[in-house]
Structures are given as structure tokens and as C-alpha cells.
Structure 1
Amino acid sequence: MVDARTGPAEAGPYYLPTGNEVEVVEQCHAGGLAVMLKGPTGCGKTRFVEHMAWRLGRPLITVSCHDDLTASDLVGRFLIRHDETVWQDGPLTRAVREGAICYLDEVVEARQDTIVVLHPLTDYRRILPIDRTGETVEAAPGFQLVISYNPGYQRMLKDLKPSTRQRFVAIELDFPEPAAEAAIVARESGVEQGTAVALVELGGRLRSLRDRGLAEVPSTRLLIAAGRLVASGIGVRDACNAAVVSPLSDDATLLGAMRELVDAMFP
């Protein structure tokens, strides 16, 4: 049986490599090295981590980082249950104990004092001190820390400190080459190859508008969303406007230019 999202059931989450990123992460996992994924929004970072967790046979614990994420959210906290105080592990602590892969998505969104708790896990010690309980948890075999962020979106006040950056092996990901991206769009959305190629061509042309004020360019994720609408019976122009153009901007001028491009490509 084939699932449009994952491919054959035995193949795990579908991911099409664009370089040697699979081999690099495999060696990092074997050597206990933390990994940093850098790339634009929607280029496949999260799917890559899902694929690698399946490939390595490890559980995956994912945390979406945000401004209010505290160290306690990652490590754990005391809770009151049935008139007693009990400790509850956070997602990072669970991953350390279980030997899971812990994936921190968009890590630059987290506060700096939160990121500091990662440091003892990213060097030879591979430990997680829990100040609230006095416990020091040694990383179980198979544990790996993976973080990701979008360099083009980060702001000066939300960059990683050099002391944090240099604790990770960095892998740069980008949108695939057109032929590969079309294969991904066709596989993930279920549209025919010709439509997938046209959607990728549209994406490429829209990405050239970055110099005209477009803050975020269309991701592979958006092209797949448009493909899924087309596969469900929605007209290709309507699908592109709804799934690709409208999410990118609220600026009337930019929206008009992008919609004209859609009309020209899909008359």
C-alpha cells in the first residue's frame, strides 16, 4: 500500500536527498554529535528529521520553539497531583532518558537562557543536569540533539550565540533542483508529473520576487498544498492563488503581480 505522504509503508517518511545529508547525519548519530539544520521555511527540514529517525530506528520527540519556551518546558517541572508534589519530565529529558532524537524546530525563537540548557548535551559529557531535583541524567545510547532554523528569517536579536553554534555540525538545506522538486511535488500531492513541473516553475518565478519585497518565497510545502488541491479537483489557477500566492503576502501590489503571473502561466 502506498501513502501519498510517506510512500510505501515499509519505506518510512518519504525524503529525497539533495546531497550527502543522510550520510552526514548517520555519522553524527554514530559519533554522538549534535546537528544543526539551516534552510528556508518549507524546504524539508522537518521531513528530513522524520526520515532520519525512521532510518536510524530511534523515537522522535519534536519541540516547536517560541518566545515563551522556558527551560522548564524542555527539562520538566514539579506538579501537584492528589495532594502531593511529583516531578514530570519535559520532552528534552524524556529524549535523553529514552535515547530518542530530540528535534528543536526554529530554535532561534527560544530564549537564550533556554538554549543554554542544551550545552552539556552537545559536548563529550552528554549529560543533562536537572537543577530542580539535583539529578544529572546521562544520555542513553541513541540520543541525538537536532536543531533547525531559517537563516533568512532570523533577526539580529534572535541569532544563535557563537558558543552555541560551535557545538553543532551544521547542514545547509535548500529547495531542491527543479527536477527533484517536481518529483517531490508529484509524489507528495498525487498530481501528474506535468502539473508538478508547472507548479515548480511557478515557484521558481515567484522566488525571483524576493528582491521586490517578498519577505518569504514559496516553499516546496506550499507547492505540495497546491498540488493536493488540484488532485482533489480544484482548478489549477484557484489552487495556486489559494495555496501559494495568498499565504505569501498581504501587500496588494505584490499579490497583484503574483496573481498576474499565475494567470499568465495557467491561462
Structure 2
Amino acid sequence: MTDYFTYLEEEHISPGVLNGIRDYRKQFPPDETAAVPPRYFYYGKEVWEQAAHALLAGENLLLAGAKATGKNVLAENLAAVFGRPVWNVSLHINTDASSLLGTDTFQNGEVVFRPGPVCQCASAGGFCILDEINMARNEALAVLHSLLDFRKSIQIPGYGPIKIHEASRFIATMNYGYAGTREVNEALSSRFMVLQMPEIESENLEKLLEKEFPSLRKEYRKQFTALFLDIRSKCRSGELTEKVLDLRGLIGALRMIEGGLEVYPALHMGITGKTPDPYEQSLVRDIISSRFSAKTDPGKLFDL
């Protein structure tokens, strides 16, 4: 865990927040065998402190924001730093109460209750990440109301109540722009502290790329950062749709370039190909060609 706190100290997170997290971990000792290290670090002091304060106060957290703002990355970082096991629940239009809470099943010739991910998390003191909460129907999510408010329990018909562990927290994410999303009703949103996620800044994006690709030369790290920001600017102005604004795609392309694939094919696979529209594809190709030459040697991007 030392690495996590070192990282937070390097981000200049306030000592009060760090001490609060340490006290929480003393009260609820983490099970290191169940810990899932996050794939990436989230960079952003103000966001980190606001999110941590909400969880330390015993609140649940709703991370709302545009694409590529790091909602899931932050959620997994919080679970790792607080030392809690994670249950990831991907929500969709067909999500119902049984897929969240559990259902009946046969075991040793008798009917027993098989808990779903929400009940498992609530009982074990984990962090439950409700991914894309505004894709699920409000009537399906209504079963969570008593878990998320002051009652901290839920009644399972035929089996009695399940009390939530004091260490448990629920972190929901949502994107306003995805197809199939809907409004989250007031009853549900009132049970969360809502944190509007800002777009990643160039400085923090460079930190992310440096952490992920330590051998990537500084001048190229700046070029890839600028490329992402150029695409984001075009998306915000309406010249491109957000289909091509894909930070995961950029990082995946860099991994392929590090493995020896040419720059253009890698970026076209990671970014350009995310839209089926030929006109958009041509615009993205123009942006890429303004930052990189077709003759760029992938081997020269990295210090070997």
C-alpha cells in the first residue's frame, strides 16, 4: 500500500485526507489477498480530495462526466487506496432486481438464496461500482434505495433483511452522451454525492503516459498528448463525434507502437477506426498527419 500513499503524496493530496484514509484502513483492515490493483492511476488533486471526503463521510458517490474523463479509473483507484474488494456491475436496459440482489437456486436438494453482486458487496464491506447507472431502468434501481440511504439494509422476500457492512460504499458512474442513457430520477440521485468529472488536463495526461510508457521520449509524449487534445477540441466544436475521443484507444495504439507497429496503422486502429463515417475518418487522419510523419520510425519513439 505504500506505493498508493506515495502516489497521493506526489499529487499533493491534503494530509487530512491521507490521515482519514489511514484511519479508515485501521478501522476496516484490508484483505490484501482480495485487493485488485488498478491498471492506471487517476491524476487530479481536487477531484481526488472531493471523492475521498465523500467516502470518508460515509456517503455514496456518483461520478458524472463526458467520455474519457476517467470515471472508472477513479472508482478503482478509490477502492484500492481504501483497501476494499471491488464488485463491478455493468448496468444496461435489461438489468433487473434479481441480477443485482440475487435469486433462488437449488443446492443439496433445497431452494436457497444465491446472492447477487450488490448483496455480496454489501455483506463483505466492499466497494460496488455501478457502471453506467443511467442505462438501467429507474424501476430496476429502485430496489437499491434502502441500501443507499440511512436504512443501510434491504429486505429479501422470504429470507429477511441484509444489513450493509459499515465499510461498504457504492460508486456509480454515468455518461450523459451515450446511446441508451436516460435521466436518473431524483429519488436515486439524492442518495449520492454527485461529482462532475472534469476533462483530463494536458499535464495530467502527460503524467499518465509517462507512468504507462516510461521509455517514451518526452517530445513524443507531448505529441501524443497534443494529438488527444486536438481530437477533443474538434469533438467539442462539433466537427467530430465523441466516437473517436478514445483515451483507451490511444494507449492501446501506443502499446502496439512500442511493440513495433508503424505509427499510422496503430493510431488508425486505436482512434480512426472507432467511427464508421468516412468523412470523420479523413478528418482524424488529417489531425494525425499534422502531428506525425508517415515516415516516423516507431523504434525512435522509445529509449531502448
TM-score in terms of structure 1 length: 0.88
For residue 238 of structure 1, give the secondary structure of its aligned residue in structure 2.
helix
Counterpart of 1:166?
Answer: 190
Separation in structure 2 between the aligned mates of residue 154 and residue 251 of structure 1, nearest angstrom: 17
Counterpart of 2:200?
Answer: 176
Counterpart of 1:205?
Answer: 230
Separation in structure 2 between the aligned mates of residue 172 and residue 217 of structure 1, nearest angstrom: 22
Separation in structure 1 between the aligned mates of residue 206 and residue 285 of structure 2, nearest angstrom: 21
One-letter code aligned to 1:175: E
One-letter code aligned to 2:270: A
Separation in structure 1 between the aligned mates of residue 212 and residue 69 of structure 2, nearest angstrom: 13
Question: Are 2:168 and 1:143 equivalent residues in the alignment?
Answer: yes
Alignment of 1:43-122 (within 5 A): 43-122=69-148
One-letter code aligned to 1:166: S
TM-score in terms of structure 2 length: 0.78
Question: Are 2:263 and 1:239 equivalent residues in the alignment?
Answer: no
Paired residues of 2:42 and 2:73 also in contact (CA < 8 A): no
One-letter code aligned to 1:76: G
Separation in structure 2 between the aligned mates of residue 107 and residue 201 of structure 1, nearest angstrom: 32
One-letter code aligned to 1:153: Y
Residue 80 of structure 1 and its aligned partner are, at CA, apart by: 2.3
Counterpart of 1:38?
Answer: 64
- Flag the structure with more relative contact order, 1 or 2, with Cα contacts below 8 A and sequence separation at least 6: 1
For residue 103 of structure 2, give the secondary structure of its aligned residue in structure 1.
strand
Counterpart of 2:17?
Answer: none
Percentage of matched positions with identical amino acids: 24
Structure 1: unaligned runs, 5 residues or longer:
1-6
Residue 21 of structure 1 and its aligned partner are, at CA, apart by: 2.5
Counterpart of 1:187?
Answer: 211
For residue 207 of structure 2, give the secondary structure of its aligned residue in structure 1.
helix
Q: CA RMSD of the aligned region, Å?
A: 2.2
Alignment of 1:6-17 (within 5 A): 12-13=37-38, 14-17=40-43
Paired residues of 2:67 and 2:242 also in contact (CA < 8 A): no
Separation in structure 2 between the aligned mates of residue 29 and residue 67 of structure 1, nearest angstrom: 28
Distance change in 2, residues 1:139/1:18 (3 Å)? same
Structure 2: unaligned runs, 5 residues or longer:
1-6, 8-34, 294-304
Distance change in 2, residues 1:213/1:264 (3 Å)? closer
Paired residues of 1:186 and 1:227 also in contact (CA < 8 A): no
Alpha-carbon deviations, 1:163-211, whole Å to 9, x = none? 2112210112233111210220232245333222211211111122220
Counterpart of 1:3?
Answer: none
